[in-house]
Structure 1
């Protein structure tokens, strides 16, 4: 059978018309442009400012990798600041050119190129920030802090995926995190056992998820509005109890009950990645398990297939016997429990007492990570780690005395997140029936 010839209309680029006459889609140069912007920033912002310093050719940047006990110690090492930044900038420029050629040839930019560009730019930025400083750049500490700051974001993003893949918008992640933190602190204090607080946290989050499901599914209230209302409700309740019950008797109701650190034998001794990944509390290991299990269940199980069907085309799912609203209710409660578990990180997971508004907007950042990850557990994990890394990067740079103003350091994680969403992801498509109530 011959391929039908599609006529070329006015305005169709000649390059987009192959020999068989079929018109191809428009080429998107979003990724090469993003690389080019990073290259320009590195050239003008990093190399340009360094080269104007007096005695810059003799300045070095020192990096440190030691962090606790390891199999062997990697000594601190120094690199020539200006030369290193120039080499890494040239690498980013070359990657931008290669990405342009790949995109122009209608091929997908490989994942390894994203990794190379990201590492090169981050290393160039760290080298620039530490140039001529007496302080060292603590590489392992930077990564460990980034993972810690990412934990509630990852749990929140997983919660959003479970709910929104089922067709329910979960704006209440912020409230679920906060209520989970509150329940974990109170129960752990009363029982003087942090692991009981870890059990109470997902129950508290599930309660908020149950309210969301009740109003959104049964009464078909606008899901964004009810999510905002639940956030306000939880904030008001926790603030009230914090100012009265918890403040009156902190030792009984709001004492610090930290989870212990669990070291994985052998793995925790690996330099750099060992202390970061395998010297953590049980909550972090539960986070690893949650991401892996959800990734497998969502795309390799009957539950996942039915969940995605409910979120994409509930009417078709109903015709084959899937109980749409029942599944939405239970998945929303499950999502709330996952977010509540993430809230425990703020209290028992960090060894802190409960504080007013201590979730600090992490629920909304988790939503951004979910969208940046395209409603995929692995993608959301990477997005949350990106935000956590950028936030801890600002903290580390402030400690070593970075030339960047403190206001810019505070803005850094949000700027990087916006840049990543606009430059690397662009337009994304949510589940087709997300936020749409279903009536049988």
Structure 2
């Protein structure tokens, strides 16, 4: 008979054969014990890998398919009714360790201390991710790309976040601040670390932006088999979706993509207040505008402290639920941290009475009595409210995208015209998604 090639392989997560089950139990052995590796597995890892491969070849014949050229982690043979929604979701990883030279292999040694954070921007994070996508970096939990980062999911995020070393799903959270999924912005991550069995299902992706108004899908940058990819992905992932947690890098500069300051450190309360003029006041104003405070500024923002800065700051503070001296309109360390980090609740629209941290025009929490409801303005809907909305948009000068009409049937032209109106209010992101909410309706017809 043909002598099988005894080489290491990674079995599918859903395969129930004895060989794959044994290999999964030892997959964590490349990791230090304190990171989830099993202490009894280290001495027998290679022997068990060989035995596993031989057992599969001689006992079931599945290894021929597993070792065939072009085979992926989706090995459904012998597993009834266990087909994966996304066959490339099996992404085992190495443990934390230093950067390595190009093409180096073998499990890295664990780091003993958490390195100092490097400052980076959202644009830089996405651009670094795109480099691996363009290069189609092959997936590997033991090899390292020419930039020194390990070619697995956690090594990919370590590279994009510009971390000083290679991390894994059990340590990446220490470099980020936990946020809600509603707060996700490009450069943030969605992380699932299976504490019970780190080698089973643990994965991490980079959030690249929403792909639909309902926030059911997003653009994911990820390192998975066979190579780095950019793909529209269901929120939060193909499997274990409910277990993924959103994180924002702690060393992020500025509060939004493509803008903000190069520093996140609070400059001190003395930089703000009557009679003060400096670049920090300008920076504050720009961050406030980006968080829904544009209506407070008739001119600016600029370096001279004014009542617009105080009112916008106070509105942001109140949006966080702060009262009294905590919402006096003068930024302190907490106000600055939320603004610079892009976290916390945005400033609600005028008169919206927002209580949930959502922006006007999309998640307004205080309904207008004249607003008929969001259900009338969705694909496939046809009613008098759509026609009324379209005619008012034209009257207000926001009918650019109508080639005919408006009419009673909701179309993409209606959505784009509503979006143009919302953006004219200074709203961005989910606040300007083209679907009217109570505040959008109030401003159109008020």
Normalised-by-shorter TM-score class: under 0.3
Q: Larger relative CO (CA 8 A, sep 6+): 1 or 2?
A: 1
Give 1 or 2 for the bigger CA radius of gyration.
2
TM-score, normalised on structure 1?
0.27
The structure in which a higher percent of residues are helix is 1
The structure in which a higher percent of residues are strand is 2
TM-score, normalised on structure 2?
0.27
